[in-house]
Structure 1
Amino acid sequence: MRSAASVRTRVERRRFLGIGTASAAAVALGTGLFSATASAEPADKKRDYPFTLGVASGDPTEDGFVLWTRLAPDPLAADGKGGMPDRPITVEYQVALDSRFRRIVHRGSAEASPELGHSVHPEITGLASGREYYYRFRAMGDVSPIGTTRTAPPASSMAGSLSFAFASCQKWDQGHYTAYEHMAQEDLDLVLHLGDYIYEYPIEGDLRGSVPDHLLVETTQLKHYRVRYALYKSDVHLQNAHARFPWLVVPDDHEVDNNWADEISQDDDPSAEFLQRRADAFQAYYENMPLRRSSMPVGPDMGLHRRISYGRLADFTMLDTRQYRDDQACSGRLEDDCDARFDRNRSILGERQRKWLLDGFSGSPARWQILGNQSPMTQTDNTPGEGASVWMDPWDGYAADRERVLDAAVQRDVRNLVVVTGDRHQNYAVDLKADYRDEKAPTVATEFVGTSISTNGDGEDLGEQGRRFLEANPHFAFVNEQRGYVRCTVSPEEWRTDFRVVPYVTQQGAPVSTRASFTVADGTPGVVQRP
């Protein structure tokens, strides 16, 4: 597909241009909860630039957000340490009202410790609601790129509008991140990333010769995961999208292992072995994402499901459909007949998370309930005709949980439930029904599934599988199989979704266009296509 020389050029282009073992003190200092002390020594100013992985922000509240950076002057170092010394480094940060930092409203310092991969996650509070801020870091004699972020509107207010994008699935060796180049130019309040930020597989194809040998193995250890994040985050377009908006992030499976379920790996590895791998994967995920201290992993466990309010207009509820699920039913793959998927004792959420979700339905005053979800909630029958041929990994394999969640939304008078989903490398606009076995079942919610950023390469407008989906699933209004992201604009009266696609990702410079647009009216579940 590319010559070796062009591949190496691409790797250089993607480089930045433009926890379980961590001590309590390292965690506290890394979040900026306390100021770093003299124990965090300044580094040698002659070292290489430390902010090669960029900056980011996330989880906004009405008076603040979390900031992130990770020091890594040699990001692809085989030991996963990013070229950093085995000692803590002081990282200063500033938050300002202007890009020249003449009106600084918050400043502090955090400790970048080796226990957390020299990452910091300062949590900023006490700011004005509903406005834009600028931020930057200083460490090792250098200043980071400048990021912009936003606080949420006041909890009691009804915002006039909300604009966000969601994305997922960005396999580095299958295409350029052109979609992020275009996303960074949008006027958005925030971005949701719904999983598969990295892939655990060895780097494949023509790009094998352009990366160090230690990237040609599957990620199973902390050092592997750290280097894999560094490779992916070396992309300038991904860095710019992170620096431009606050992000809400949640992993799916490939951040750990394909199709993993609780303590069970894809290959049925011994439980203790897999839990160690999961602990390493979660630690690397935390180290590389703008997450709060509440999401800090403890061994193989990580607090990922959470709720972010955008005033009274919307609640974002980020789900975790991996950590608490039962094993996949039957073979775990595509099945024509699998009664076990309807077993009410099987769950994709786990009982405690499901109760937390449903209690949130009852207690929220938000006009729109938005679920950030990893794999399709809707039924995706793969074969037209009688019966249903479905995959066991998404919610189809846990049909009773889907029914409980959607029934509860109706019973608890949720005014508008919209699910936004990643995973499938295809765009869908669908009506959600609690029971797809009943042809007369009413539409009770709406789901928009977003395609991949790069996974599976260029894609096409509508392939054979997409045509089968449209024929076999009458609740589908739209299928598209190109790469891109999804932009959503929400007001008190209406939700609008624009599927933003690029025609190719195996070459640089693809334009972006809106392939289709759909709306959901306040109080009326289901999609309506717009010109």
Structure 2
Amino acid sequence: MRDPGPPLRPGRRSFLALTGVSTAAFVLGIEAPAFADITATVPADPFGLGVASGDPTPDGVVLWTRLAPDPLAPDGHGGMPRRPVPVHWQVATDERFRNVVRSGVAIASPELAHSVHPEVRGLEPGREYFYRFRAGSEISPVGRTRTAPAPHAMPSELRFAFASCQAWYHGYYTAYEHMVAEDPDLIFFLGDYIYEYAINSSNLWREGVTLPSEHDAMVETLEQFRLRYGLFKSDPLLQAAHATAPWIVTTDDHEVENNYAGDVSSVGIPPEHFLRRRAVGYRAFYEHMPLRSVHRPSGPDLPLYRRLHYGRLAQFDVLDTRQFRDPLPCGEVTGNCPEREDPKRTMLGYEQEAWLYDGLAASDAVWNVLAQSIVMARIDRDLGPGETFSNEQWDGYPAARDRLFAAFRRHQIHNPVVLTGDIHRSVAANLKEDWLDPDSRTVGVELVCTSIASNGDGADTDSYEPIWLGQPHVELYHARRGYVSCRMTPTELTADFRALPYIQRPGAPISTVARFVTEAGDPGLQREG
């Protein structure tokens, strides 16, 4: 009998039937047609998940909210009736909305969990705005946002924070309270916004809370993904962080399944079934993030990578390190193997690679920042004479990393900076031209944020510290929870690694465990204090 070969990837039509969403529904979530009925009644307190903005440009931002008077309704519909609802929005120059400069109506449809993503244009560059929503007679909390500077402007500074990995059940989001107090211009979130694991007594470490039984299940269906986002986004400190500044988001793995790679499940789910899970995971991600319509998913495909500019000060390339990568080579943690060394292996997929290199070549920014999810620096995990690598990280794709660094050299890219999440540790590293020669040229720096909550309180150090600090290019390793706060100017980038002593109970103070400065034109980390 002839080998039938690998299972066929299901067609786009079957995925659209599976996810049950139409192009019209996406469009209605952005702007209502002129003939739409814009009057409706809604349940009380429909803004239970707060408001958000994201992806600022010089003339606008995308706004977001989801109507959910009961965010933890087990059916995933947030307590909303199964009918479309008009949502009015306003943007003003003042918090009391005495000077409204833009307004409109979007239709919140049950197909998109009653989320809306209005895209605001016609704003002035480089200034602060306030926004709010109205559904029926109910008015949302007020959010604050900021447009990007004009394309040729050179801002004197940009203050931004970045974070990742917020397992709600492992602890409180106290880090966001401190982040909001710092009043950043931008917030980057680098993946693992939710986690797909069942929540029960074995992992519910957030003191003083209990959950009903529907949360004690692995997240697989669209309804379960919506419920999980509802749980995480119901946190008031996360809502405050979304309302204080525009967010720029990307995914890692737990938005779908731990350690997945492209079309390949890490637990052996057949590709045709895994792609269906990826489709509903990506759809729920879009439903709950301040993303523009160009980033809406089509079945299991999510066009997420994108480029944003902050005048001539910074170019931000937001990467997708999950959807297009080759499968892991020869196991998750291994030494060298022929597959790992294959020069054709890709982390980003060749289309995303070409897009990235072309964009870097055209950049005239002082700082060129890659916002992505997994550690790029080479980390040999064998403390002896051998070599062992985590193939989940860029170490599993050394040829792809070499091509990236070659593009830095070929195009003479100014001041590369890599922002990373994933590992639940604070790490600062120099990116080296030759990893085995500490005196080789430093091509850029990598700043790795710890988790907001994942893995609980953590510690100042742990058993992995000798591995990480045993690498000559690693300057910091710290295992508490927190985030990284940055100040970028035309001459230097300052990164404060912020950490909390505990998060399994609320109210922790925060401190700076390390500060690094990188000077423009002189790649490398200089530790202060």
Query: What TM-score do the two structures reach when normalised by structure 1?
Result: 0.93
Partner of 2:15: none
| Match among 120, 126, 133 for residue 124 of structure 1 | 120
CA distance in 1, matches of 2:491, 2:415: 11
Residue 266 of structure 1: SS of its match in structure 2? coil
Per-residue deviation, 1:506: 0.9
1:261-410 matched pairs, under 5 angstroms:
261-331=261-331, 333-410=332-409
Partner of 2:89: 93
Residue 444 of structure 1: SS of its match in structure 2? strand
Per-residue deviation, 1:228: 0.1
| Match among 129, 139, 144 for residue 143 of structure 1 | 139
Per-residue deviation, 1:385: 2.9
> For structure 1, which segment, 206-215 or 268-277, has the greater mean C-alpha deviation from structure 2 after superposition?
206-215
CA distance in 2, matches of 1:406, 1:37: 53
CA distance in 2, matches of 1:244, 1:436: 40
> For structure 1, which segment, 47-56 or 377-386, has the greater mean C-alpha deviation from structure 2 after superposition?
377-386
Partner of 1:252: 252
1:51-70 matched pairs, under 5 angstroms:
51-70=47-66
CA distance in 2, matches of 1:298, 1:41: 30
Check the 8 A contact 1:503/1:511 in 2, yes or no.
yes
Check the 8 A contact 2:156/2:489 in 1, yes or no.
yes
Partner of 2:481: 483
Check the 8 A contact 1:375/1:421 in 2, yes or no.
yes
Per-residue deviation, 1:41: 5.5
Residue 26 of structure 1: SS of its match in structure 2? helix
CA distance in 1, matches of 2:65, 2:526: 41
CA distance in 2, matches of 1:502, 1:282: 31
Check the 8 A contact 2:420/2:449 in 1, yes or no.
yes
CA distance in 2, matches of 1:225, 1:288: 10
The code of the aligned residue for 1:364 comes to: S
CA distance in 1, matches of 2:90, 2:449: 35
Partner of 1:526: 524
Residue 498 of structure 1: SS of its match in structure 2? strand
Check the 8 A contact 1:132/1:148 in 2, yes or no.
yes
Check the 8 A contact 2:497/2:514 in 1, yes or no.
yes
Per-residue deviation, 1:438: 4.8
Summarize deviations over 1:37-67 as a string: whole Å, max 9, x none: 43565124xx231000000000000010000
Partner of 2:8: none
Residue 25 of structure 1: SS of its match in structure 2? helix
Summarize deviations over 1:279-318 as a string: whole Å, max 9, x none: 1000000000000001100000011100010000001110
1:72-111 matched pairs, under 5 angstroms:
72-111=68-107
CA distance in 1, matches of 2:249, 2:285: 10
> For structure 1, which segment, 185-194 or 433-442, has the greater mean C-alpha deviation from structure 2 after superposition?
433-442
Q: Is structure 2 residue 236 aligned with structure 1 residue 211?
A: no
CA distance in 2, matches of 1:364, 1:118: 38
The code of the aligned residue for 1:468 comes to: I
The code of the aligned residue for 1:509 comes to: G
CA distance in 2, matches of 1:106, 1:322: 37
Residue 157 of structure 1: SS of its match in structure 2? coil
Q: Is structure 2 residue 473 aligned with structure 1 residue 468?
A: no
| Match among 483, 494, 498 for residue 496 of structure 2 | 498
Summarize deviations over 1:212-231 as a string: whole Å, max 9, x none: 21111011110000000000
Q: For residues 82 and 421 of structure 1, do their structure 2 counterparts lie closer, same or farther at Cα, with a shift above 3 Å needed?
A: same
Per-residue deviation, 1:492: 0.6
The code of the aligned residue for 1:499 comes to: F
Q: For residues 250 and 152 of structure 1, do their structure 2 counterparts lie closer, same or farther at Cα, with a shift above 3 Å needed?
A: same
Residue 320 of structure 2: SS of its match in structure 1? coil
CA distance in 2, matches of 1:204, 1:60: 38
Per-residue deviation, 1:85: 1.2
Per-residue deviation, 1:524: 1.1
Residue 134 of structure 1: SS of its match in structure 2? strand
CA distance in 2, matches of 1:460, 1:336: 28
CA distance in 2, matches of 1:55, 1:85: 20
CA distance in 2, matches of 1:513, 1:385: 35
Residue 89 of structure 2: SS of its match in structure 1? strand
Residue 205 of structure 1: SS of its match in structure 2? coil
CA distance in 1, matches of 2:201, 2:214: 15
Q: Is structure 2 residue 456 aligned with structure 1 residue 457?
A: yes
CA distance in 2, matches of 1:203, 1:184: 28
Q: Is structure 2 residue 171 aligned with structure 1 residue 178?
A: no
Partner of 1:508: 506
Residue 369 of structure 1: SS of its match in structure 2? strand
Check the 8 A contact 1:76/1:231 in 2, yes or no.
yes
Residue 462 of structure 1: SS of its match in structure 2? coil
Residue 342 of structure 1: SS of its match in structure 2? coil
Check the 8 A contact 2:44/2:138 in 1, yes or no.
no
Provide structure 2 residue ranges, at least 5 long, that are not aligned to the other structure.
Answer: 1-17
Check the 8 A contact 1:40/1:87 in 2, yes or no.
no
Residue 523 of structure 2: SS of its match in structure 1? strand
> For structure 1, which segment, 454-463 or 88-97, has the greater mean C-alpha deviation from structure 2 after superposition?
454-463
Check the 8 A contact 1:488/1:496 in 2, yes or no.
yes
The code of the aligned residue for 1:267 comes to: V
Summarize deviations over 1:4-44 as a string: whole Å, max 9, x none: xxxxxxxxxxxxxxx95322222112112x44643565124
The code of the aligned residue for 2:461 comes to: L
Check the 8 A contact 2:438/2:472 in 1, yes or no.
no
Partner of 1:415: 414
Summarize deviations over 1:475-524 as a string: whole Å, max 9, x none: 00111111000011100100100001111001111001111000111111
CA distance in 2, matches of 1:215, 1:400: 41
The code of the aligned residue for 2:363 comes to: S
Q: For residues 512 and 459 of structure 1, do their structure 2 counterparts lie closer, same or farther at Cα, with a shift above 3 Å needed?
A: same
Report sequence identity in percent: 49
Summarize deviations over 1:368-404 as a string: whole Å, max 9, x none: 0000010000012223232322111110000110111
CA distance in 2, matches of 1:362, 1:20: 38
Check the 8 A contact 1:39/1:88 in 2, yes or no.
no
Provide structure 1 residue ranges, at least 5 long, that are not aligned to the other structure.
Answer: 1-18
Check the 8 A contact 1:20/1:297 in 2, yes or no.
no
The code of the aligned residue for 1:132 comes to: E
The code of the aligned residue for 1:77 comes to: A
Summarize deviations over 1:328-365 as a string: whole Å, max 9, x none: 0111x221333422211111100010010000111111
Partner of 1:202: 198
Partner of 1:241: 241
Per-residue deviation, 1:434: 4.1
| Match among 159, 165, 174 for residue 161 of structure 2 | 165
Check the 8 A contact 2:183/2:244 in 1, yes or no.
no
The code of the aligned residue for 1:346 comes to: R
CA distance in 1, matches of 2:170, 2:72: 19
Per-residue deviation, 1:406: 1.1
CA distance in 1, matches of 2:146, 2:51: 14
The code of the aligned residue for 2:525 comes to: V
Per-residue deviation, 1:78: 1.2
CA distance in 2, matches of 1:205, 1:167: 26
Partner of 1:152: 148
Check the 8 A contact 1:470/1:476 in 2, yes or no.
yes
